[in-house]
Amino acid sequence: MEIRTVSYLKDNPEVEKIFSDLESYKSFCRNAWLDGDSKSYVFDEKDLYDNTSHTWQMYNRQKNIVKRKIKKFKNRKRN
């Protein structure tokens, strides 16, 4: 009889994504003021993926700004 030792997160990438997003969101709430934002945000797990939450909207806005900066930097390197 063979015993399989496979991680639950490896078998379920959706769950891994949720935990990864939760950690990233928590980090944003904890460090927003230190990173130069004029406000600090209260971390609440129920706001994850809730587009009506102001904190989640600010997290997504900040994440998209970082993506655009990286994309702009890569385009600048090509030229």
Instruction: Kindly report, residue by residue over 2-56, the tens digit of the pLDDT.
Output: 555 567 767 888 988 999 999 999 999 999 888 777 788 999 999 999 999 999 9
Give me the pLDDT at residue 35, please.
Answer: 79
Which residue did the predictor score with more confidence, 32 or 67?
32
Q: Kindly list the distances between the CA atom of residue 25 and the CA atoms of 3, 35, 56, in Å, as whole numbers in the listed order.
A: 36, 14, 8
- Give the pLDDT band of residue 65 (cuts 50, 70, 90): confident
User: Which residue in 30, 35, 34, 36 sits closest to 55, CA to CA?
Assistant: 30
